[in-house]
Amino acid sequence: MEKKKTEELIEKAFQARENAYAPYSNFKVGAALLTKSGKIYTGSNIENASYGLTCCAERVAIFKAISDGEKNFDTIVIVGGTKDPISPCGACRQVMAEFGDFNVILVSKDKKIKKMTVKDLLPYSFEKENLKE
């Protein structure tokens, strides 16, 4: 991916992080998802007093894209507020794996970058092909 597009995704993820609703943990996360058609969807984490109903930024961005008919993803950028890049939770990894192996860029508050793919994050995911067996 070109450097300019990566920088745009990082900026949009930082902007999305500002919209996080995190009154319980104060741990804000933002995500920016680039589809193969070139559209960008953002997401921020949304907490709930019933913690199990909290939704992570990554899933918000992916669900927004899917609700618009997009299912082919190129790259997702995930930004947390820590000194080192944060990694997606298990639920987010599984949701990401549902839509194939695409690029994942993790970014710290100081813009340290760690690049990988969905398969790097979840090498032995349970996939739709498993349901056919």
61 and 31 in contact (C-beta within 8 Å)?
yes
Say if residue 50 carries a ligand binding annotation: yes
- 26 annotated among ligand-binding-site residues: no
Residue 18 assigned ligand-binding role: no
Residue 65 exposure: Cα atoms within 13 Å on the Cβ side: 29
Ligand-binding site membership of 48 (annotated): yes
Residue 55 assigned to a binding site: no
Kindly tell me the burial class for residue 81, based on how many C-beta atoms sit within 10 Å of its own C-beta (0-12, 13-18, 19 or more). Answer: middle
Active site residues: 58
Determine if residue 47 is labeled as part of a ligand binding site. Answer: yes
Q: Is 45 annotated as a binding residue?
A: yes
Q: What is the per-residue burial (b if ≥16 Cβ within 10 Å, else e) of 92-123?
A: bbbbbbebeebbbbbbbbeeeeeeeebeebbe
Token pair 């996939």 in the structure block, residue: 127
- Known binding residues are 45-51, 56, 89, 92
- Known binding residues for Zn(2+) are 56, 89, 92
- Known binding residues for substrate are 45-51
